[in-house]
Chains A and B, each alone.
Chain A
Amino acid sequence: MRGIAKSMARTFAVFLRKPVTRDYPTYHKPIPERDRAFPLLLWDEDIHEPFCTGCHACERACPVECMTVLMKDNPNHKNLDGTSSRRKIIDKFWIDYARCMRCNICVEVCNFDAIAMNNTWEGHEISVYDRQDLVMDLPQLLSQSRTGNINEWVPVLGQTNETMSETDAEVSN
């Protein structure tokens, strides 16, 4: 009987504690900056074009082959009286969110920091009725970055907290 009484006492004690649950749809927990939802493309605000040059690095590195990349000559290149220094630019880009396993490899291999993992709630709350709707095309992939609704965190492999703060200091200087 003593054991059962002890169990009941503990249950009662826990009952008096502050609850840890949250009402999810009304309350959105702040999520850490490293959070990885699905990958999306970043928008170069200065030149008004994507950072992505369509180099196929992410497409080749993707373990589940969820990406399709097509490249074209940049019509906005300097040789053509444009403003951009990118000779090639992304033409079409599809990411199949249904296939993606969010391993972060595409972000690591990108030479232009053009792709990032979505770390906002928009990246998590994707629900569709048709699986085809999870194949995102270029405008959809860029839209969140174009509206500035992303707190991008592009990890650099092997960067420690010390070197990270040094580079931050350099940038601010």
Chain B
Amino acid sequence: MVEVLSQTSDQSAEFETQDLLLNVGPQHPSTHGVFRMVMTVDGEVVRDVIPYIGYLHRGAEKLCETMDFRQGIGFMDRTEYLAAFNAELSYVMAVEALADLEVPERAQWIRMILCELNRLSSHFMFLGAFGVDTGVFGTPFIYAWREREALIDLFEEVSGDRMMYAYFRPGGVAWDVPVNFVDRVREVLISATQGINDFDSLLSENEIFLARTQGVGSISATRAIALGMSGPSLRASGVDMDIRRDEPYLKYDQIDWDVITGEHGDVFDRYYCRVLEMRESIKIVKQCLEHLAPGPILPEKLPRMLRTPPGEVYLRTEAPRGEYGVYMVSKGGNRPYRCKVRSSCLSNLQALQELTIGEYVADAIVILGSIDIVLSEVDR
């Protein structure tokens, strides 16, 4: 070893440098869950990053095969705990497509309102956590928590639970919303608008925040598509793609709203796309409330135990983090033969290596935060 060192010093360099292996996680507050990155760093610059996943694997897909369609809903909640309504929606819509169930109007509007509100609460969670990632300690996190609390209180009044709602059923929703639901939603929307304004003036124009985020972790549109990204992370690169508009499910075709796209595909665009998307969500919910009319919320003839004919279906919806799809195969009977979840987070995470290599170590955390992963959805 001494000989080798002396050899190199003879050649050119004054001293030998060595890449350092830096392990982040799995128990690390900045990895947003149990996620492990092994980074090879050259000084401050990341040369290589290897992500390790699977620490939160619970086999939700396999469990669904042993459960009937109603029992599976509870496990879908737990695949994506920050936007459980959206996760449930894909699952129950897949079951409905298999069983050829008609969903009543009112149930569809209720589903839409709750999913958009859930998108709000999930994005608030992102803004708060992302603020902490960029080093704005505490303030945005607590702002986000304040607004998310109002939303979660509303979800509790509707479904009875704060995170694992288990509220959607194949064919509609389990029971009706409370009598004062519309007023409560309007109340919450006012406070949420205020919360978004808070974030906008706190972060979006702050020079320190801009210096931390602009131009960091850029990805081109073609590469983002090639890596299978979806949702706000993809739209930030300038790809105009939103499943809600392109393949309208529920009642999105009757609503007037815009798809937000970014320009540079850097961390700031991914952040700002979400802020603007939240304003669009508020717009959607306001229109939905006007369409909400009394009526049935479940089909009249719903069997006690739902059975589907044999068949297979892939159904995708736009969850807060991207395309959340459920591929379901049925061989007849009351349970799926196979239930595969296409996780938006897992696909978005594929871009991590490409985004991080060549950036600074401190920016690696910001980049990971900007993809907005939920590890329970990655591992399922």
Contacts and interface: CB of A to CB of B under 8 A. Distances in A.
A14 B143 contact: yes
Contact of B157 (A20, A34, A156, A164): A34
Interface residues of B, number: 45
Given A3-B206, A7-B203, A161-B294, A104 B166 contact: yes
B295 A117 contact: no
B174 A155 contact: yes
B179 interface: yes
B149 A20 contact: yes
B176 A105 contact: no
B161 A36 contact: yes
B208 A4 contact: yes
B175 A157 contact: yes
Contacts of A1: 207
Contacts of A25: none
- By CB atoms of chain B within 10 A, which of A156, A160, A164 has the most? A160
Interface in A20-67: 20, 31-32, 34-36, 61, 63
A134 interface: no
A49 to B, nearest CB: 27
Contact of A158 (B70, B175, B202, B206): B175
Contacts of A6: 201, 205-206
A101 interface: yes
A155 B74 contact: no
A157 B157 contact: no
Contacts of A105: 70-71, 74
A58 B176 CA distance: 23
B225 interface: no
Contacts of B73: 103
Interface residues of A, number: 35
A161 B176 CA distance: 6
Interface in A83-103: 101-103
A157 B302 CA distance: 10
A172 interface: no
A150 B210 CA distance: 53
Contacts of B187: none
A159 B176 contact: yes
Interface in B60-87: 67, 70-75, 78
Contact of B201 (A7, A31, A34, A117): A7
Interface in A129-173: 155-162, 164
Contacts of A35: 156, 160-161
B217 interface: no
Contact of B146 (A20, A104, A157): A20
A103 B70 CA distance: 10
A155 B207 contact: no
B175 A156 contact: yes
A2 B205 contact: yes
B172 A158 contact: yes
A149 to B, nearest CB: 19
Contact of A10 (B161, B172, B179, B202): B202
B74 A63 contact: yes
Contacts of B23: none
Contacts of B139: 11
Interface in B20-77: 67, 70-75
B87 to A, nearest CB: 14
A104 B294 contact: no
Nearest to B294: A162
B158 interface: yes
Given A10-B201, A160-B176, A160-B296, A61 B71 contact: yes
Interface of A: 1-4, 6-7, 9-11, 14, 20, 31-32, 34-36, 61, 63, 101-105, 108, 117, 119, 155-162, 164
21 contacts: A4-B208, A6-B201, A10-B198, A10-B201, A11-B139, A34-B178, A35-B156, A36-B160, A61-B71, A63-B71, A101-B74, A101-B164, A105-B70, A105-B71, A105-B74, A155-B175, A156-B175, A158-B298, A159-B176, A160-B106, A160-B295
Q: Which 3 A-B pairs have the closest CB atoms?
A: A158-B298, A3-B205, A63-B71
Given A10-B202, A103-B74, 4 more contacts: A11-B139, A103-B166, A105-B74, A155-B174
